[in-house]
Amino acid sequence: MSVLVNKPAPDFKATAVMEDGTINEDFVLSDYLKGSYGLLFFYPLDFTFVCPSEIIAFNNRIDKFKALNTKVIGISVDSEFSHFAWRETKVENGGIGKLDFPLIADLTKSIARDYDVLIESDGVALRGTFLVDLAGNVRHQVVNDLPLGRNVDEAIRMVEALQFTEEHGEVCPAGWNKGDDGMVADAAGVASYLSSHSDDL
């Protein structure tokens, strides 16, 4: 498994079903993210089981991502037609309904390979999540096996943590949440932080 953290996010051009339901045959990641953070998440297949719960969870929190200047992008090895059909299927019938972020069709599986989340034997992607900063670099990644649904609130927390450290120049200690104290990254900063927070860790 490749570690992409601190490396440029692999760029790609692909077909996508956009937020408004239109099909964009020339979706380019770097163009779409220009001026924004990105949260890319891979999932195995449309019309499956864990996947719709994750996609709906991302969509239910899309306003939080937008407030953080972060664009969410879903990716699977399905076609754009499958993506579109799933969006057109009501939630109560196992669909995902309308979404406020694009779904990428990775039919050639090249994107999943570039991000090293493809299970070659099964031809589907693991549940990989990648946080991309304003410079286009991956700053956080986590990969779950197929039965293990991800925590979307944790994805939001990581965006907040990245933006905190960029703004304040401090690091985010264990369990940091928005509004908590950061830590100055030197010996005195560690001592100061632990003297008042160690019992809460």
Known catalytic residues? Answer: 51
Judged by DSSP in three states, 141 sits in strand
**Which uninterrupted H or E stretch holds 75?**
strand 70-76
* Per-residue b or e along 108-137, where b marks 16 or more CB atoms closer than 10 Å to that residue's CB: ebebbebbbbbeeeeebbbbbbbbbbeebe
Chain mean position to CA 145 = 15
**196: CB partners within 8 A, 6+ apart:** none
